[in-house]
Chains A and B, each alone.
Chain A
Amino acid sequence: SQQGEEDPQALSIQEGENATMNCSYKTSINNLQWYRQNSGRGLVHLILIRSNEREKHSGRLRVTLDTSKKSSSLLITASRAADTASYFCATVLTGANSKLTFGKGITLSVRP
């Protein structure tokens, strides 16, 4: 079953614009992670935000977490063509092992 649900399913923007992707989940979590995947290859870890954190930054990435709304957002600023990829949010549940539960992903296209 899908714990994380991303929104929108697909996003197309111009290079230089910001991209915002959202993720909602259903149960209490230990942490939430965002991954990128290029053309069906392996997943690249972008950022991990813990349940007691509200915001994290990494380079051009900004992630927020609202545990009261069970939602997270990933903001990519000043997008580049190389950011074109699929983006997934994944949750780790409280008290669980390291199992990641992924959503279906968001396809981001950045036009040069």
Chain B
Amino acid sequence: ETGVTQSPTHLIKTRGQQVTLRCSSQSGHNTVSWYQQALGQGPQFIFQYYREEENGRGNFPPRFSGLQFPNYSSELNVNALELDDSALYLCASSLETGGRETQYFGPGTRLLVL
């Protein structure tokens, strides 16, 4: 177990709806990254938060947004859901940013958009 938790584990939404996914990072970790993993693909970087500020963003549209709270937990919000948003959403926490620290992943939230 990595100590990173995500909720919910599964979610079904319809096209056009909005969704909020949550992540609790490992104790002491101030950096959280979010990834989207489509079926049969590797995870794709969505964005990263470091000490409550966005610290890098991948090639995802603005309807993907996030937050990091003072306790370093994080949320991923997706507006105007599309069918292609169906995927496993993973969050990962690390001690620091900069890429030198191991990232520990949560179990993921599987989102299905109908």
Which A residues fall within an 8 A CB radius of B? Answer: 2, 4, 30-31, 33, 35, 40-45, 48, 50, 88, 90, 92-93, 96-105
Is there contact, CB below 8 Å, between A30 and B41? Answer: no
Residues 52 to 69 of chain B near chain A (Cβ within 8 Å): 55-56, 58
- Closest chain A residue to B45, Cβ basis: A99
A98: contacting residue among B33, B106, B108, CB under 8 A: B33
Q: Chain A's nearest CB lies how many Å from the CB of B102?
A: 5
What total of chain B residues lie within 8 Å of the partner, measured CB to CB? Answer: 34
Q: Which residue of A lies closest to B47 (CB)?
A: A99
A43 near B90 with CB under 8 A, answer yes
- B residues sitting closer than 8 Å to A (CB atoms) are 2, 4, 31, 33, 35, 39-45, 48, 50, 55-56, 58, 88, 90, 92, 94, 97-108, 110
Are B107 and A92 in touch, CB under 8 angstroms? no
Nearest 7 Cβ contacts at the A-B interface? A102-B42, A92-B99, A97-B56, A42-B107, A43-B105, A42-B105, A30-B99
Contact A102 B105 (CB under 8 A): no
Contacts of A50 in B (CB 8 A): 100
Q: Which of A4, A42, A90, A103 contacts B108 (CB 8 A)?
A: A42
Q: Is the CB of A98 within 8 A of B99?
A: yes
Q: Which residues of chain B are near A90, meaning CB under 8 Å?
A: 42
Knowing A43-B43, A105-B42, the reply to whether A98 touches B103 (Cβ < 8 A) is yes
Are A33 and B102 in contact, with the CB atoms below 8 A? yes
| Cross-interface CB contact of A44 among B55, B58, B97, B105, cutoff 8 Å | B105
